[in-house]
Amino acid sequence: MTITDTIQYIGVNDHKIDLFEGQYHVPNGMSYNSYLILDEKIAVIDTVDANFTDEWMENTANALNGRKPDYLIIQHMEPDHSANIANFAAAYPEAKLVASSKAFAMMKNFFGTNFADRQMIVGEGDTLSLGTHHLTFVTAPMVHWPEVIVTYDSTDKVLFSADGFGKFGALDAEEDWTCEARRYYIGIVGKYGAQVQSLLKKAANLDIRIICPLHGPALSENLGYYLDRYHTWSSYQPEEEGIVIAYTSIYGNTRKAVMQLAETLRTKGCPKVVVNDLARCDMAEAVEDAFRYSKLVLATTTYNADIFPFMREFINHLTERNFSSRTVAFIENGCWAPMAAKVMKSMLEKSKNLTFAETSVKIMSTLNDESSAQLDALADELCAQAESAEPKNQETPTGKRFVCDICGYVYEGDSIPEGFTCPLCRQSADHFMEVNQ
């Protein structure tokens, strides 16, 4: 596959995989992308998953057509992209390895060596000339690992974007980019919105004609659309007006309430209404819906003085990905001491810019006149909000933001306090770098 006259695709498709990263269903497989730039000197960009060593090495040799590569550029050390570094190094012993210092430290862990005698360490703004092609390296820490760099070719105006702008699905799968790119972004990169925003600001200064990610197709048309999607997703703003109802139900009574609410919302002319049974649906799809739409209704039972396990898992997925800037409503069910609404709200208490609906629905075992009236009132409230909803200007953060290059935690303030340690990974302030607003 040709990207430009001098850039070739040498990646592979994986149709045997069922779960990507051990949790995401990928019915249309995955692609592991790798690229080769042919010039006076030759650069290969990233390798592929260990299950495709022979195919990738053959693709590389065919694209080289008898020549030898001068560089292997390693943008990301996750094994689906880095597994064949040692194989490449053995096959082409004169090639230099180009990567960030953190990537070389990780190579020691993966391969027992950091290839010290073949290293070319690069950082922000460093360049590499291949002849006609001139490459500039841009650091992208925590998008979505700390060692990540992306590579800009100013000759063909190509951004090699690492995992950025990737999607689920093999390249020969015919499917909508947005749906699987959204599910991929939210599931894998979603926690690191501030870091993605920083990278987007750097990319805004580049003349980009083609984006080449490590998963999914190269993007060469209507790039503004893809950049806008990433801006929306990484700023945690709703993509469109709509209501998601996520529920669990043990004996069907909570489900009846959910279906009644959904029908009422549709009858009242509310925009898109999406219902997800968390015990049966693809959890990643449900999480994607929650981030896509503007309102979320959580409906579950009190269970062991807590909430039903699938609902707890769902909310955990939301909060660890910085769920924010939405309207949230609660429906709880319990036979003698319902407390699900209280538990769910407490799980969301650290989420930013959430608006909780004034109406909360309490079901005592089964729907009755009182709880049915509460459902009607909730539908009225949600539909009224939808009618009055207007696009809001995104607030520009004030002050400074510092990101931990180990775990991605963001500290907001004028400076990192003396003696500060990251509350997530317990690393010192030395691991924090300022994020450009």
Give the DSSP per-residue string, 100-134: -HHHHHHHHHHHS---GGGEEE--TT-EEE-SS-E
Provide CB contacts within 8 A for 123, sequence distance 6+.
100, 101, 137, 139, 149
Q: Are strands 12-14 and 30-32 parallel, antiparallel or unpaired?
A: antiparallel
Q: Give the model's pLDDT for residue 394.
A: 40
* Helical ranges in 185-332 per DSSP H: 193-203, 223-234, 253-267, 283-292, 309-320
Prediction pTM value: 0.86
Q: Tens digits of per-residue pLDDT, 277-332?
A: 999 999 999 999 999 999 999 999 999 989 999 999 999 999 999 999 999 999 99
CATH 3.60.15.10 residue window(s) in the chain: 2-234
- The token pair at 407 is 């775990």
> Do the Cβ atoms of 196 and 189 come closer than 8 Å?
yes
* CATH superfamily label, 2-234: Ribonuclease Z/Hydroxyacylglutathione hydrolase-like (3.60.15.10)
- The CATH topology of domain 240-388 is Rossmann fold (3.40.50)
Q: Rounded to the nearest 10 degrees, what angle do helices 369-388 and 253-267 cross at?
A: 40
- Residue 181: what residue type? A
Q: Please measure the distance between the N-terminal and C-terminal CA atoms of the chain and give it in whole angstroms.
A: 38
- The token pair at 183 is 């599910």
Q: What distance in Å separates the CA atoms of residue 37 and residue 125, rounded to the nearest whole number?
A: 20
- Residue 394: what residue type? Q
Q: What distance in Å separates the CA atoms of residue 404 and residue 410, rounded to the nearest whole number?
A: 6
Reference 315, options 350, 366, 365; nearest CA is 350
Q: What distance in Å separates the CA atoms of residue 23 and residue 187, rounded to the nearest whole number?
A: 10
Beta bridge partners of 36: 8, 44
Q: Are strands 30-32 and 71-73 parallel, antiparallel or unpaired?
A: unpaired
- Residue 146: what residue type? P
CATH 3.40.50.360 residue window(s) in the chain: 240-388
| Residue 423: burial class (beta carbons within 10 Å; 0-12, 13-18, 19+) | exposed
Q: What is the phi/psi pair of residue 283, to 5°?
A: -60, -40
Tens of each residue's pLDDT in the chain, 437 residues: 899 999 999 999 999 999 999 999 999 999 999 999 999 999 999 999 999 999 999 999 999 999 999 999 999 999 999 999 999 999 999 999 999 999 999 999 999 999 999 999 999 999 999 999 999 999 999 998 999 999 999 999 999 999 999 999 999 998 989 999 999 999 999 999 999 999 999 999 999 999 999 999 999 999 999 999 999 999 999 999 999 999 999 999 999 999 999 999 999 998 799 999 999 999 999 999 999 999 999 999 999 989 999 999 999 999 999 999 999 999 999 888 889 999 999 999 999 999 999 999 999 999 999 999 999 999 999 998 766 554 444 433 446 777 766 655 667 778 888 777 766 556 778 777 776 54
- The token pair at 415 is 């400076």
Q: Which helix (H) or strand (E) holds 61?
A: helix 53-64
Q: Tens digits of per-residue pLDDT, 392-419?
A: 444 334 467 777 666 556 677 788 887 7
- The token pair at 25 is 């269903």
List the strands of the sheet with 35-37, edge to edge: 2-4, 7-9, 35-37, 43-45, 71-73, 96-99, 119-121
CA distance to 16, 26, 174, 371, per residue, from 169 (Å): 12, 6, 9, 43
Q: Give the model's pLDDT for residue 423.
A: 61
Beta bridge partners of 301: 333
